[in-house]
Structure 1
Amino acid sequence: MGHYITLATCVLNQWALDFQGNYERILESIKLAKEAGARYRLGPELEITGYGCNDHFYEGDTYLHSFEVLAKLLVADVCKDMLIDVGMPVAHKNTKYNCRVVFLNKKILLIRPKMYLANDGNYREMRWFAPWKKHRTLEDFYLPRIISSITEQHTVPFGDGVISARDTVLGTEMCEELFTPDSPHIHQALDGVEIFTNSSGSHHEFRKLDTRIELIRGATRKSGGIYLYANQQGCDGERVYYDGCGLIVMNGDIVAQGTQFSLKDVEVVTATVDIEDLRSRRGDQPSRMAQASEAPAYPRVFADIALTYDAFQDGFDLPPTAPRAPFYHSPEEEIRYGPACWLWDYLRRAKAGGFFLPLSGGLDSCCTAIIVYSMCDLVCKSAKIGDAKVIADARRIAGEPVDSTYVPVEPKEFSGRIFHTCYMGTENSSKETRNRAKHLAEWIGSCHVDINMDSIVTAFLTVFQIATGKVPQYKVRGGTETENLALQNIQARSRMVLAYMFAQLLLWIRGRPGSLLVLGSANVDETLRGYFTKYDCSSADVNPIGGISKTDLRKFVQYSKTHLGLGVLQEFLDANPTAELEPITSDYVQGDEVDMKMTYEELSIYGTLRKVAKCGPFGMFSKLIHQWSGILSPTEIAEKVKSFFFYYSINRHKTTILPPSYHMSPYSPDDNRFDLRPFLYNSSWTWQFRRIDEGAAALGKLNRSSSNEKNGETSKSK
């Protein structure tokens, strides 16, 4: 006869320092888990405070309010007779830790601190917390009075222990600990832990979900056991989007998987499994049992609760959940949904009335517009299934009264209420780009404005002429590179000023209060190369495509043309990428790749080698010698690498003023968080470039020698 157990893992859209909202979402998740028949509930990492509090973790208020929220949870009726596992920061002996707090019936059973901290890429946990290094050790933690008055406990266990219920044992693993080579679940499994719990704050990045799922499946496939994975979802106040996807895995098989991108504030993933299946799995592995017999023991903390039930004796009618294949979104779907969900969180929490986008008629701003349209589509789908929170937020953003009957139904209609676009043309703009912007706005329903800004550019030039007596000219009209660049930048920077003026006044024109958030649309490759004007229209409030490559954006447009029915997008795919900041003549049309002196495909390669492979100039040259062998000569490769690093270094300062961008690419050059490199370089790279030239010369000599030998052999054979 089986011993069935129903477990719940929760995905919450928490917000940094939103203690009231976070408390309500935690309480709602406990209620839903209990209704599903679960006797154990797991939530995401630092769910009481929100993950992205950053330097607020230095503040005593953050710890005080966390305990205040914990106190409210301890006395909540819905928590009765349920093992609750919540995340919050805790200071123990004047040292701050990222912790799980496990409680049952107004008694705290264990405070388990994180042992391995995330401290790379977007994470800086060691800035605020210490790792717990006393493995398999518990100490007394002295509770604050606000808690002890409820629990009637003065001290509780603090450290690396496990929870022993009447019928099974649970062990904690926290986010980064899963990714370490010597993960806690290995040792816990050998000591008889049957249920592994992982509360996480893991952000979205291209194909990162694959890594998580394979690690979890591998852990339980090798060690046997049940693995619960809870993750944060949404934008909690930073450049990253936590993509949820709660999981329950048993013996390597997925038995439950939540959504990866969702507008839900609370999602509870549950599964019912037969715990005897994992015991049977472990029992037929003699080598595992031999290792387990000599494994060091974890200190156990007893929880007076049975998590399992007998389907016959207890009268429950919850059949075991069948295994299922993992579900993954395609890369194009990740672009469609991830930034859209991030924008929705930003929009509703910023209390803005919508978005404003300078729509240039090019591919990048086109992609940004499609993402906003996708956001509108997600809002309408959530409203259709009756998500009251989404409907209330949509009404407020659209300027409808709270008691209105308005419900967003069609994405195009909702887009017309909250999305504003503007084509900012000059004498250098083409009829084609103006028409593409107009057609796209019509297809997605944005409130569109078409203007000509030549008078603004002329005004700037007039002021300059009065002050200096000089009038700069474009290159095609005999001007120097300096004049040509300055004239382009005047147009670009003027667009930024116009964008913010329109963003502040367009709602006023429509008789609505508030203002719009300005969207940027510079892709990750242009940012890496520095191919944008500082403080131009890429200077915005947020940029949903700032972490996405041009190559992936083109694939996304092709996908959107088919799956969103936006036939107009073929015009953008056929167009040549151009800034349209110089005059068009019969024999000259400005092109992005010509201006950059490198292709977008090459930039993706450079970016990956620079950031992911951690190559300097000589290291990149060495890699590309093999990667581009037979395509380019060593000297040509050397010139390309030197050209990239020259432009990268002279433009690195531009990354210091980037608007917050949705993090998606592993080679993002975001100076504010992800890519902590200098912004002032010796752009000559004297030593490095000399070594590249020496290497290219040596390889060229070697290749010529090899070619001569082959020619000699051919002559002899003839």
Structure 2
Amino acid sequence: MRHGFVKVAAVTPELKVADCIYNTAQICEAAKEAADAGAKIIVFPELGITGYTCCDLFWQERLLVSAKEGLRKIVDASRMWDALVFVGLPWEKEQKLYNVAAAVSRGRLLGLVPKRFLPNYAEFYEARHFTPGDANISWTEFEGSPVPFGQNLLFVCREMEGLTVAAEICEDLWAPDPPSTRHALAGATVLVNLSASDENTGKSIYREALVANQSARLICGYLYASAGEGESTTDLVFGGHNLIAENGTVLAQSPRFTNGIIYSELDIHRLRSERRRMTTFQCAENTEYEKIPFHLETEETVLTRDFTPMPFVPADRGDRDRRCEEILIIQALGLKKRLLHTGCKSMVIGISGGLDSTLALLVAAKAADMIGLERSAILSVTMPCFGTTDRTYRNACELTEKLGATLREVNIRNAVQVHFRDIGHDPDEHDVTYENSQARERTQILMDLANKSGGLVIGTGDLSELALGWATYNGDHMSMYAVNASVPKTLVRHLVRYYADTCGDEALAGVLQDVLDTPVSPELLPPKDGVISQRTEDLVGPYELHDFFLYHMLRCGEEPSKVYRLAERAFAGTYDRETILKWLKTFYRRFFAQQFKRSCLPDGPKVGSVAVSPRGDLRMPSDACVRIWMQELECLQAEKM
């Protein structure tokens, strides 16, 4: 359970209607299998001990007695399971029948949660047999001992802070005011749903969306186990559609019309972090709830769930294209508003032939089209110097031409050499002064050309560069509006590719493709044999790694050892452990050391869930210490040696 992960399971066992002996045996066998596989929370379908489709047999004394006998056997068997298990059965209390979820752990019946909302429409007529459950806690008896009975039950794990479980039953989730909402606000981080949801056309899509959306609204893990094959088919068919969701993402789901077990791991630390971050999600101590402790053995949770190596980039092509179009519009709309507000009639962009300046130019063209401004009002400035290659220079010129912008070339070689003489710098010493003098000269030219044309300097730097501080302070770090400031490098590439695929101009697409094929470089050092000699990722590390680190550290608030663990899994077969750890240390060191550059960023539009604007998502002191983060990584490195 290290790093807050807990393995869970949703189970649809084999079943025979009204055969509690058979069903109990199947539940015990499946629960043992799930527990042996490491599942710590296991949920079975609604009324699973009897079967959901017993109809008027629920009035039979023999069925009710047999169901309770089945529960007794499950409770006894649970002594051998290191898990919290939820099973469904009918329960008589004060001469009324209730549809309940029984919480079982280590040989004890911890509590009974009655169903609140009983469907009595269309194919359902539960109110014929059952009484709606009450939120208030009362007591019932099992094996001579009192057992809490009511919806307001929270099952709290003593060994894992934040692992608090609550239950609801089928229709409870489909109702306008699900009990799970109240449970989550009382502190539940995991909701289980014992369900018997029959199948009809299109229902599975709605069911999946319902479970995913509820887990997102409540920032929780949600386990949904539904009845399957074995229920009566007199009028209905049940598909055993089981789902495990976490904060809006479906981690696992079963193929319909098959019985079995699905597993995944919930990240309780991530859920707690999200709730801390969201100030409108206000958990509060609720005295109406009964907190019931349960115990689990503390052990390593083997991860089986996938972690995308590209958290900023949707894997599905359709989703990715929609996101790219949306981001381009957001960027362009932000720039449009700034132009209209300032009354500026031109845009000035330093165009290098690289990815970032290419994206900025594409956004500028889109903004000009929105305003009805001629694209010739975009002043695209190429400023070749010591590191400029023919390839990037050609692409900068051709891209400007294809987009209809105005090209201006200002060779800064002589100006930089004069500057070297003024400050007494040896031009053969290719140090940070050598590099940054070029970047600051370029920014000076752009600012002055903007003054001359009554325009705005459009920033080109992206989110990944800002996170690493890979920008020259008051050089490419500065602009009048930074359109790429919240776009990570891994997404910049897809935005440019999307534009190439959809622009309808074969020649422009060809130039954009060559830009995509060009190594990422600031081109501040002389080329070797006409080829780029300075590759950014050789110096600061692969951007796909840094974007992964950035997302999990900043968006999820995860500790370094956990970020490393997830990266190991996400990049298995791509980077070895030593490489991941090396660049993770670089990331933390640079992120903390370079905050001063982010503290004075120009304005720019936020496009995603992660941004570093000091006026928006990241309010961080420029002199914060990285010590405790690096200390954890040093300990991790020592363990790996």
TM-score (norm. length: structure 2): 0.48
TM-score (norm. length: structure 1): 0.43
